[in-house]
Every structure is written in structure tokens, then in C-alpha cells.
Amino acid sequence: MSTPNQEDYLEAIWRLTQEKGYARVTDIAERLQISQASVSKMLRRLHADGLLEVERYRGLSLTTVGARQGQRLLARHRTLECFLQHLGVSDPEVVYHDVEGIEHYFSAYTLEQLTALVQYIDDNPEWWQHFIQNLPEDR
Ligand code: CA
């Protein structure tokens, strides 16, 4: 991942909270592969924006607004992940790298349409298989 932005932080904090019940600066730094100093700087911003709460003993957690955003960002990541997997991109590292590269650029409407497409593919696997299997060989 290149320099993570606010959305990457919110997604990472939401993921960690879901997985472990809390998010620590060290976990976030490890997850986003950046220094703890950079994490602390962004956390101050998220806190100032009303997205993050710092509880003395329990550590960091997202406010209701922050959690809603984190949830939405994780769902967006997963939708794009599913879409690439449906396209036949099977290397998890490539999927991750590509999703990280494109996820910030979807408008709400485009994402909504893509989510509907992924859902349709899930519901109609034969329809999608027909498409995938009939792609020209030498591209
Ligand atoms: Ca992501």
C-alpha cells in the first residue's frame, strides 16, 4: 500500500475492532505497514473529526459515525475483492494490491451498481461461468 489515507485507517481500525475487540497503535502500524508516529498523527485527526474515541483503559475505538464509515469501507473492500475473484484473479496478493489501488475512486452510485453485479453473479453462477468460459483465449 502506498501512503494510507483516512479511509484506509478507518477500514483497518474497524477490521481490528471486529477481529480483536480493540485496535492499538502498534496493530494499526503493522496492518498499514507504516510508523507508529504516522499512526498517532492520523489518530489525532480522526479524533478531532469525531470518528475516534480514546478510552483510557480499553484503547481506541470508533465512534458511531466512525464505525458506520469503517463498516462501509470494509464492505466496499470486500465487494471489490469478490469482483476480482469472480474475474478469475486468484493470487490473493494481486487481489489485495489491486483493491487497495482502486477502492478510493468509486463514486457511491458506481459502487452500488458493482455491488448489485457481484450479488447477481453470486445468485447466477451459471450465467457468469458462461461469460468467463467464453472469453477469447489470446488476449
Ligand atoms: Ca482496503
- The DSSP line for 90-123 is --HHHHHHHHHHHGGG--HHHHHHHHHHHHHHHH
Residue 139 lies in a domain: no
Q: Which residues surround ligand 1, an ion (CB under 5 A)?
A: 11, 77
pLDDT (tens digit per residue) in 12-27 = 999 999 999 889 999 9
CA of 81 to the centre of ligand 1 (A): 9
What CATH number corresponds to the domain at position 53? Answer: 1.10.10.10
Ligand 1 centroid from CA 12, angstroms? 8
Q: Which long-range contacts (CB under 8 A, 24 or more apart) does 102-110 make?
A: 103/7, 103/73, 103/76, 103/77, 104/5, 104/7, 106/76, 106/80
The answer to whether position 53 is within a domain reads yes
Whether residues 80 and 119 share a domain: the answer is yes
State in Å: Cα 134 to ligand 1 middle: 31
Q: Mean pLDDT throughout 60-72?
A: 95
Q: What separation in Å is there between the alpha carbon of 76 and the centre of ligand 1?
A: 8
pLDDT, tens digit (0-9, with 9 covering 90-100), for 37-54:
999 999 999 999 999 998
CA of 92 to the centre of ligand 1 (A): 13
pLDDT by residue (tens digit) across 120-139? 999 999 999 999 999 888 77
Question: What average pLDDT does the chain have?
Answer: 93
* 72 CA to centre of ligand 1 in angstroms: 11
Residues 62 and 9 in one domain: yes
- Inter-CA distances, 46 with 10, 13, 55, 70, 86, Å: 9, 11, 14, 12, 34
Domain of residue 21: give its range. Answer: 4-68
Q: Is residue 138 part of a domain?
A: no
Of the candidates 85, 94, 72, 73, which has an alpha carbon nearest to the alpha carbon of residue 118? 85
Q: Are residues 112 and 128 in the same domain?
A: yes
pLDDT at 1: 59
Show which of 36, 68, 100 is a domain's final residue. Answer: 68
pLDDT of 2 strictly over 80? no
Q: Identify whether residues 63 and 86 lie together within a single domain.
A: no
**In a shared domain, residues 11 and 63:** yes
Q: Last residue of a domain, which of 49, 68, 87?
A: 68
Question: How far, in Å, from the CA of 29 to the mean position of ligand 1?
Answer: 14
Q: Is residue 129 part of a domain?
A: yes
**% pLDDT > 90, the chain:** 84
For the cut 80, the answer to whether the pLDDT of residue 58 exceeds it is no
Give residue 56's pLDDT: 74
Choose one of 68, 89, 117: the last residue of a domain: 68
Number of domains in the chain: 2
Please give the average per-residue pLDDT across 60-77, as a whole number: 96
Flag whether 121 is in a domain: yes
